[in-house]
Amino acid sequence: MNGIHDLGGIDGMGPVGPTGWEPPYHAAWEKTAWALFPFAARAGMFGLDEFRRHLEKMHPLHYLTAFYYEHWVEAVERIGTEKAYWSRGELDKRMAYYLDYPDVRLPPNDDPALVDFAEWAVKNGFPAARDVGHEPKFAIGDRVVVDASVPRHHHRRPRYTMGRTGEIVMYHGAHVFPDTTGNGQGETAEHLYTVRFTQAELFGSAYADPNACQHTDMWEPYITRAQS
């Protein structure tokens, strides 16, 4: 879907302004929020693309004003409620308890294997490479056009690339396809490429750095061969 989460190329948001150093966490609760993702994923509650789809469901104002890890908490709460891991009432009751007793420690972890898994996931991620039974349609050097349609579901096509022409510069094999896996249609896989776009192609020659380019990963269904 095309929502406020797709910020690339949007005007009026101001400069990014990165700092020289940023702490991993700004508050103790963010450590717990981070742990929600690998622990819930290990339990089979969701996969990465489904998790991202629920991030995109946040109200735009909340999405832009919330702390980063609030996004994670929101997604896990929503998925767990939809799949009946807990009820909204149970969450409200637990939240009220900790608001009344903010100094109470969280329940201790008694599963060392779970901690080992989280540490492994940080270092290795969740592999998404898969085998498929058909050859890729494109090769390095091919010029391709990105599908310009506006999907109403989770996908990984940046809005600023839609309808633009670029050149394939890398091929990664087949990987899990977000458009099916993240939208409740079961896991499928498609060939994955890296496409290079000139900034002039993306943003117009009047504003682009003539020496700059943008590289974006594209699954095969997102692209068609450019007309010569």
**What digits encode the pLDDT tens for the residues 162-176?**
999 999 999 999 999
Using DSSP's 3-state secondary structure scheme, residue 189 falls into: strand
Mean pLDDT across the chain: 90
Q: Please name the residues in contact with 193: beta carbons below 8 A apart, sequence gap of 6 or more.
A: 136, 138, 144, 168, 170, 171, 172, 217, 218, 219, 220, 223
CA distance 212 to 141: 18
Residue 228 pLDDT > 90: no
CA distance 132 to 140: 19
pLDDT score for 1: 62
Q: What is the mean pLDDT of residues 198-213?
A: 90
Domains and CATH numbers, the chain: 28-126 (1.10.472.20), 130-225 (2.30.30.50)
Please give the full DSSP string across 26-79, using - where no structure is assigned.
Answer: SSHHHHHHHHHHHHHHHTTS--HHHHHHHHTTS-HHHHHHS-HHHHHHHHHHHH
Residue 221 pLDDT > 90: yes
CA distance 71 to 173: 31
Q: How confident is the model at residue 36 (pLDDT cuts 50, 70, 90)?
A: confident
pLDDT score for 75: 94
Give the pTM.
0.85
pLDDT score for 173: 97
pLDDT digits (tens, 9 = 90+) for 97-147: 999 998 998 887 778 888 888 888 878 888 899 999 999 999 999 999 999
pLDDT digits (tens, 9 = 90+) for 51-96: 999 999 999 999 999 999 999 999 999 999 999 999 999 999 999 9
